[in-house]
Amino acid sequence: MSQPKDWHEASRWLLTAQEDLKAANVLFESGLYSQACFHAQQAG
């Protein structure tokens, strides 16, 4: 894999992790704790 493609893939994974963490926070604030835990784990 070329370096630009590697950077693109890494950026995509980081964006997905950030979105999962945002989802975890929203779910936690809504009292949906098991779903929040799932998304927090996915973010990790």
State residue 12 phi and psi, 5-degree precision.
-65, -45
Whether residue 1 has pLDDT greater than 70: no
pLDDT band at 4 (very low <50, low <70, confident <90, very high): confident
Distances (CA, A) of 30 to 7, 10, 13, 36: 35, 30, 26, 9
pLDDT at residue 3, rounded to an integer: 77
Mean pLDDT of the chain, nearest integer: 93
Number of domains in the chain: 1
Domain residues for the domain of 34 are 3-43
CA 9 to chain centre: 14
pLDDT at residue 32, rounded to an integer: 98
| pLDDT single digits (tens) 11-27 | 999 999 999 999 999 99
